[in-house]
Structure 1
């Protein structure tokens, strides 16, 4: 059943949604790994899984903690580009952002064998969710608001 006046019809496609979730998780962890590896070159530290999943290393007291937090923030901007190119709907940016970060929360919980409890980790998570969702939604809405060409016939010079 098609509704009149609707620009895009939304069709429930669980395979598409699950593949988009998997793709966004891949983008999240691969770009985070690249940011961590790149920023770790600034300080004498070799990248490890602890920087991704161990929430206790995050903080302002050490250069290592500050660099890791910067990698998470830069990763939010990179993932916003992933929302633009693979999700393409401003209305779905918050949903996919929260989903990506919920899976990251579960990953941290499993990796550390206990629930994340530091205020720094939770604040960083909220900043990253907000930054990724707002930036992704802004980028998607910019492309959604582009003019739709009504005449597809080639122009002739008369």
Structure 2
């Protein structure tokens, strides 16, 4: 008799499908460069510097002996903080954050090398990539874990009170076990038979 195969976990194929992963990588990479470009253009306009694509794609612009190099380094670190938010919104799984963060920086290495026609040899550039990947990974994992550990809230009615205090409209509230206050019918706590409650006057006689 053939052994029955265990059905896949719901959502597993959708989460690990190559098409979905590829689309997430493309969206994250576009957001990575878009946020960096906005920050670089804004900073260049404020500082009165010339805007060109070297500031975004060339590794030679990131130098530790110039003011522009340090400014670009701070911009890329700030960009890593922004991309952690995109990872939270698009990935939302803490165990995948490291893979996507390293993939983004690896693609950036390829793009930078192709644009500059050389592999980066600047130690400042490599140190910046390590810091950026570390910040993006640590912040992304923390944010995703915070989202994963949030308690799930289900809609429903409010829990009934068990004190038996009268409600605002003057009628008595149900105590949650089938008993009622005042005159009326009810069922015992053990479910054995029904009984009828009657009012009592001040002398202790049944009304």
Distance in 2 of aligned mates of 1:74 and 1:58: 15
Higher helix share: 1
Q: Which TM-score applies when normalising by structure 1?
A: 0.89
The RMSD of aligned alpha carbons is 1.9
* Structure 1 position 53 matched with structure 2 position 57: yes
Distance in 1 of aligned mates of 2:72 and 2:94: 28
Q: Which runs of 5+ in 2 are unaligned?
A: 1-5, 161-172, 174-207
Structure 1 residue ranges, 4+ long, deviating more than 6 angstroms after superposition: none
Deviations, residues 15-72 of structure 1 (Å, cap 9, x unaligned): 1101100010011000010111122233221332111221112123222111111110
2:121 maps to 117
1:120 offset after TM fit, Å? 0.4
Q: Larger C-alpha radius of gyration, 1 or 2?
A: 2
Deviations, residues 77-107 of structure 1 (Å, cap 9, x unaligned): 0000000111111111110000011100000
**Residues paired across the two proteins, number:** 154
Q: Which TM-score applies when normalising by structure 2?
A: 0.69
Secondary structure of the 2:12 match is coil
Q: Which runs of 5+ in 1 are unaligned?
A: none
Structure with higher RCO (Cα < 8 A, 6+ apart): 1
2:67 maps to 63
- 1:18-97 mapped onto 2 (5 Å cutoff): 18-97=22-101
Conservation of the 8 A alpha-carbon contact between 2:63 and 2:122: no
